[in-house]
Amino acid sequence: MLKSRSRKKDFYPYLEEFKHERTKEVKSRLRLFCGLSVIIYIGIGILSIILSPGEFKKAELSTWAFLVVAAALILLINQKTRTLPQAKLNAFLFAAALVLSFVAVFLIYPPYIPTTGAPLLAICMFFISFIIPWGLMEVVAIGALHTAAYLFMYIWLNSPAAQALHIAFTPSVFTDGIIFLAVAFILCVIIRKRDDERQRENFVLFKKLEERNKEMEKELSLARDIHKTLIPQSTTTDKAVIAVNYIPVSTVGGDYATFHVTKEGNLFFLIGDVTGHGVPAALLVNRIYGETENLIARDYTPGVLLKELDRFVQRHFKQTQMYFSVCSGLIDFGKKKLFYSNYGHPPQILLQRRNNSITLLESQTYLLGLDVEEADARIFEGTLDFENKDRIVLFTDGLIETMGDERQLYGMERLEAFVKDHANDHPSLFNTDLLKDLNEFREGPVADDIFLLTIDIK
């Protein structure tokens, strides 16, 4: 009882919407009901003509015409129907027309009434009960309609007008038929009641899921907006031009990059990629962002900063089994030195314009967060010389691991060739053309987040 009340309470807020959807369903089912009924009814008649041509009576053609006209009228009315009661009334009227057509056929062939009257009406009852989503009381009305038709045939066959036919339709045979119809009716009620309850429960579950999805979409939209604030914008300083492009594979992603002008006027940068993508990766990025900003403020060198960040991830996120590939660097414009540290990140690119050659900022150790380096106090840091007008291309693995036809990767070789061929492009144009080239190469949807950050030294 309490469970039933709880279900009604859950269903009540969706009652009007359920009625609207049920109206559309009944109207759709009614079109199917009319079409199938006419096809089956006339099909059975044609089959009987083929199997027993001598028994066919032309009077049966009038029942065909009656059913076709009834279906056409009901379908015409059905098009203009707007409410659920009207739609169900149309369905009931056609059900009555169908039963009436069967009764008319039995009156044309009365010897079949005692033997096939009840079974045929039971089949008709099942068909009508299940093709239209009736309520409990409506199924009762359907059962009463078929019982009344069977009772009418019994009374007619035992009337003085039909005595000359000498067809035995005894009370015991009639009683057996009534029992047969009653069993069929009870089965229809049970199955229809369960089906109706299941449809209502499914509708409530669907609406709740729909509402939850809308809520999640709003939350993800908010998360995306918050995540966007972590993505640096393209900018120009007195010593460098920086172009940024970010393509997340889902609403939020696990790629991250940042850059800062230090108090000495140098440029610090960091680019990284959390394993996986989506909300978990974005949450880890948010935590790493806060810690990175804190470490940058302490003026750490790239190697020291990533060592501290590694300890932070191991301390707080070891149980998540999520790791972080990251490359950090400091461009010292006065000394013309590039200090960098690479924890498991793809080799980043330094393009030297003087001879159009490439030097790679190779990975120096494992992914950040792996405890294989937990007891190792070494600082992983390298140094490269650069000149004015050199270019640094920073990216995440989503770029070079983009899949083309024949399952080929975009790869470092293709990327290095592109960097050389477009050495004189403005950084923003370079990024745009590179992503365009990537899209032309790619087969299928984007599989991983792509972050691209290009720095031109003035």
Tens digits of per-residue pLDDT, 290-316? 888 889 889 899 999 999 999 888 888
| The last residue of a domain, from among 150, 181, 213 | 213
Tens digits of residue pLDDT in 337-381: 999 999 999 999 999 999 999 999 999 998 988 876 554 678 999
Q: List C-alpha distances in Å: 416 to 223, 442, 453.
A: 35, 17, 15
Same-domain pairing of 243 and 188: no
- Quick one: pLDDT at residue 283? 75
Give yes or no: residues 194 and 299 share one domain.
no
Instruction: Evaluate whether residue 226 is within a structural domain.
Output: no
Evaluate whether residue 219 is within a structural domain.
no
- Examine residue 67 and state whether it is found in any structural domain, yes or no: yes
Q: What is d(CA 311, CA 369) in angstroms, rounded to the nearest whole number?
A: 7
Does one domain contain both 44 and 131?
A: yes
- The yes-or-no verdict on residue 223 having pLDDT over 90 is no
Residue 44 has pLDDT above 60, yes or no: yes
The answer to whether residues 75 and 29 belong to one domain is yes
Residues 375 and 447 grouped into a single domain: yes
Does 171 score more than 80 pLDDT?
yes
Residue 218 within a domain: no
Q: Is residue 319 part of a domain?
A: yes
Instruction: Please report whether residue 177 resides in a domain.
Output: yes
How many structural domains does the chain have? 2
Q: Can you give the pLDDT at residue 40? A: 94
Report the CATH number at residue 360: 3.60.40.10
Residue 251: predicted pLDDT: 65
How much of the chain exceeds pLDDT 70, in percent?
A: 94
Cα torsion angle, 136, 70, 161, 177, sign: negative
Residues 199 and 333 in one domain: no
**228: in domain:** no
| Domain stops at, among 158, 178, 213 | 213
C-beta of residue 394 within 8 angstroms of C-beta of residue 269: yes
* pLDDT value of residue 2: 40
pLDDT tens for each residue of 96-121: 999 999 999 999 999 999 999 999 99
Q: What is the pLDDT of residue 375?
A: 47
Residues in CB range of 148: below 8 A, 6 or more apart: none
Same domain membership, residue 207 and residue 82? yes
The b-or-e profile of 329-351 (16+ CB within 10 A means b, else e) is: bbbbbeeeebbbbbbbbbbbbbb
Q: Residue 222 falls within a domain, yes or no?
A: no
pLDDT band, residue 7 (cuts 50/70/90): low
Cβ atoms of residues 392 and 431 within 8 Å = no
Domain final residue pick, 180, 213, 246: 213
In this structure, are 125 and 270 located in the same domain? no
- Same domain for 132 and 191, yes or no, is yes
Q: What is the pLDDT of residues 389-431, one digit of tens each?
A: 999 999 999 999 999 988 899 999 999 999 999 999 999 999 9
* Residue 263: alpha-carbon gap to chain centroid: 50
Distance CA 412, CA 270 (A): 20
* Residues 163 and 28 grouped into a single domain: yes
- Sign of dihedral through CA atoms 281, 284, 285, 286? positive
Mind listing the pLDDT tens digit for each residue in 245-277?
998 887 667 788 999 999 999 999 999 998 766
Q: What single letter denotes the amino acid at residue 235? A: T
Domain that holds residue 297: 234-457
CA distances from residue 452 to 152, 233, 397, 428 in whole angstroms, order as listed: 83, 12, 10, 10
% of the chain residues with pLDDT over 90: 65
Question: In this predicted model, what pLDDT tens digit does every residue of 180-211 receive, in sequence order?
Answer: 999 999 999 999 888 888 888 888 788 888 88
* pLDDT reported for residue 3: 46
> Do 240 and 208 reside in the same domain of the chain?
no
**Taking residues 17-30, what's their average pLDDT?**
90
Asked whether residue 263 falls in the same domain as residue 209, the answer is: no
